[in-house]
Amino acid sequence: MLTEKEKYEILDEAKLYPYPSAACLDALKIVQHRRGWITDESVSDIAALLSLSTEHVDGVATFYSRIYRHEVGRHVILICDGISCMIMGYEPVYEYIAEKLGIRFGETTSDKRFTLLPVSCLGDCDHAPSMMINNDLYNDLTLEKIDHLLEKYV
């Protein structure tokens, strides 16, 4: 079930478009913002609210990289593996974080604290290598910086 607050937010966003169905992606983002990821139940609930088929909503949900259809940790680490970050060395950054947390790309720590994912170019190429943790951008990364960064996310 969507909460009243979620429904209100979705229908409020729908006012920006001539058809409520256009708010499909906004709805997914609103629900994910509150719950972390999109369950089958949320797909059905959003479909019902916006008069769309569940298949349509799931088609949209699975198309976009930043909509999660699997459970993710409390914090999502996105390491840029774009070309500028490759040249400037994202691989050592990735290996260091992967070893420290004991997870590879696509995995979540057993305490559900972190999920580790690659991301295509964060548009921060003059400060490569870069990564995002949740909504926060970190750049000019060095291994020394990383320990300190991860500590902020409990």
Asked if residue 152 binds another protein (CB under 8 A), the reply is: no
Footprint on residues 1-20 left by another protein (CB under 8 A): 16-19
**Which one of 34, 59, 106, 143 is in contact with another protein (CB under 8 A)?**
59
Encoded tokens for 79: 């390491």
Encoded tokens for 66: 């930043």
Stated as kind and residue range, the H or E segment containing 79 is strand 75-80
- Choose the binding region for another protein from 1-9, 106-114, 122-130, 146-154 (rule: CB under 8 A): 122-130
Asked if residue 46 binds another protein (CB under 8 A), the reply is: no
- Choose the binding region for another protein from 1-9, 62-70, 102-110, 143-151 (rule: CB under 8 A): 62-70
**Which one of 2, 47, 77, 88 is in contact with another protein (CB under 8 A)?**
88
Q: Which is nearest to 57 in space by CA: 31, 21, 32?
A: 21
Nearby residues of 26 by Cβ (< 8 Å), 6 or more positions away:
10, 13, 14
Q: Which is nearest to 34 in space by CA: 9, 59, 60, 65?
A: 9
> Which residues are at the interface with another protein (CB under 8 A)?
16-19, 21-26, 28-29, 56, 59-60, 63-67, 81-84, 86-88, 119-128, 132, 135-137
